[in-house]
Chain A
Amino acid sequence: MRAGDRIFQNLTTGSGIFVVALIGLIGIFLVIQAIPALRANHANFLFNHGWSTNDPTNMAFGIADLAEVTVATSVVALIIAMPISLGIALFLTQYAPSRLARPFAYVVDLLAAVPSIIFGLWGILVFAPAIEPFSQWINETFAWFPLLAPGNVEPNVRGTIFTAGIVLAVMILPIITSLSREVFQRTPTTHIEGALALGATRWEVIRTTVLPFGKAGYIGASMLGLGRALGETIALAVILLIPQGRNFDWSLFDGGATFASKIAQNYSEFNNPTSAGAYIAAGLVLFVLTFLVNFAARSIIAKKGD
């Protein structure tokens, strides 16, 4: 092999190894920085609901509240976004005139290009006030139902998990849609033609060929959307109100903080290495969480690809 070739090959392979090492480095550095803070922690890191890191010599912090709020907002977003994305993906592959399918897909992709701080500010300054009467009505009418009970930031119904979940749903729509669309597009033509030849209506074609073929891809895409929702930072930091007193109590009209929004809101505490370590520990949990979700999503999609 010529010298130029060898150098070039080593350079490109080295870059590949660099990316692989990068993921490992992220994990290692976060662990190293988190350990001193975890050692100084007087509370159970996994199950404690409080977060007190102001005094570095007497810290008591746990991620229970953060984990619950993170899961609640992401699940609300997923429940809203999954059926709509499925609809859009079917619309783009099966219903939209082929001449318009590409521009339409581009329109949905545009949602992904909007910076998330703009979504956050729109969510709290424009969207939340606009739907306030509706939120208020749901909150009052269904107050007997625990999930919709008056929250810990009442009477405010703007900066709640309810609002945050809807905005988050809009933000993860494009990722779920674009991947599902790709999978649905690959439905074998022979299957579709077979169904048509048997006299199936358009909906029956979708139900009997497109959906069974694309199911795994759609689930994988939704999990990627979940991964995105779990890690969304600034939009949630802007929208979610911080409750005074009562902790998160599984109402959609609660306020609170997710892993990511908690870190973003408290960057001023980063001047003290021990306090910063507490947030890095929370970030480590978020990293592991998104890693697992993305891992599962990619495995599902890859299995289908073979």
Chain B
Amino acid sequence: MSTTLERPAVTPAFQQVSTSRKLKNGFATVLVWLSFLIAVVPLVWVLYTVIANGIKRLPYTNWWSEDFGSVLPDEVGGGVLHAVIGTLLQGLVCAVIAVPIGMLVAIYLVEYGRGKLARLTTFMVDILSGVPSIVAALFIYALWITTLGLPRSGFAVSLALVLLMIPVVVRSAEEMLRIVPDDLREASYALGVPKWKTIMKIVLPTALSGIIGGIMMALARVMGETAPLLVLVGYSAYTNWNIFDGEQAALPLVMNNERATNSMDPGSVGFDRIWGAALTLVLIIALINLLATVFSRLVAPKKK
């Protein structure tokens, strides 16, 4: 009996794959892997540059506790406290304005939006996410400074950042609200809870952990923007807590200012300051993302 099994009477139905097809398949596999590796190279290179060059000044306490006001442009010393304060203040004020608006738009799109206006809103949110940061800055310049006659300030920057932050908040919040199961809403309605209370007390808390992640991501993104800073606020080497008046630094502005005023030879004061500020900015962004992860874990709905 075993002999028949060892030698099948019919030839196999599947032919060997021809060499040319094999070659093409192998070639495509190599190309696809290669393209992924190509994308990883600049990422590693940029991160290496920022960390290796930026780490020099960061361990000194005065980097975190002083500004550049008391040191000469080519003098070693001083710190970026003024810029950290500016970045955080402008980011915070931007978030205070952009988050409620973005959340309301997302709630509108998920819970109420039907028909033409909803489609138009979705479309305009998409368009808004494609508006270049320099155009947002020019718009605020035209509105805030030319038309209303108000001074250039950190607050004007925050307003421009609001335009850039809203679409990101809407997109992520919308996505999170949509995956809240309808059963929850229906159960709430069945108990006679009004729709707005259902949204505030049932739908939002369920989606909150994901929404917070999206908000933090959006905040981190706008904190790295430079274009609005150039147009809407002057650079100051001194600490300024007043967001409504006067020149105010921010980390991207420090980098740009050092580039414009200092020598860019590797190892020079300006070079160290640029990468020090870059690493500080990257650390702040990383910290915000970390906080977001921890916080959204805490408020996530309990699974048994």
Contacts and interface: CB of A to CB of B under 8 A. Distances in A.
B195 to A, nearest CB: 5
Nearest to B34: A87
A290 B131 contact: yes
Contacts of A142: none
B55 interface: no
Contact of A290 (B112, B130, B146, B274): B130
A173 interface: yes
A16 B118 contact: yes
A231 B40 contact: no
Nearest to A167: B42
Nearest to A238: B259
B231 A270 contact: yes
B179 interface: no
B50 interface: yes
Contacts of B36: 87-88, 91-92, 96, 104, 108
A14 B220 CA distance: 27
Contacts of A206: 28
B256 A199 contact: no
Considering residues B36, B121, B220, B275, which has the most beta carbons from chain A within 10 angstroms of its beta carbon? B36
Interface string A92-132: 10111000000010011011011111110110011100000
Contact of B141 (A110, A228, A276): A276
A126 B221 contact: no
Interface string B24-47: 110111011111101110110110
B203 interface: no
Contact of B224 (A91, A117, A233): A117
Interface residues of A, number: 90
Given A113-B285, A118-B281, A201-B24, A4 B230 contact: no
B197 A4 contact: yes
B244 interface: no
A122 B252 contact: no
Contact of B139 (A29, A85, A118, A238): A29
Interface stretch (B70-78, B102-110, B292-300): B102-110
Contacts of B45: 122, 126-127
Contacts of B196: 4-5, 7-9
A218 interface: no
B238 interface: no
A12 B112 contact: yes
Contacts of A23: 124, 127-128, 131
Contacts of B274: 121, 125
28 contacts: A9-B195, A9-B196, A11-B104, A12-B105, A14-B104, A16-B109, A16-B121, A22-B163, A23-B124, A25-B139, A26-B131, A26-B135, A84-B35, A114-B224, A117-B278, A122-B49, A122-B50, A126-B45, A126-B49, A127-B42, A170-B39, A173-B39, A202-B25, A228-B130, A230-B132, A231-B133, A234-B226, A291-B127
Given A201-B24, A263-B231, 6 more contacts: A9-B196, A88-B36, A110-B43, A126-B49, A263-B138, A264-B134
Interface of A: 2, 4-5, 7-9, 11-20, 22-23, 25-26, 29-30, 32-33, 83-88, 90-92, 94-96, 104, 107-108, 110-111, 113-119, 121-122, 125-127, 170, 173, 177, 199, 201-204, 206, 224, 227-228, 230-234, 238, 259-260, 263-264, 267, 270, 273, 276, 279-280, 283, 286-287, 290-291, 293-295, 298
Q: Which 7 A-B pairs have the closest CB atoms?
A: A231-B132, A87-B35, A115-B224, A8-B196, A12-B108, A15-B104, A294-B130
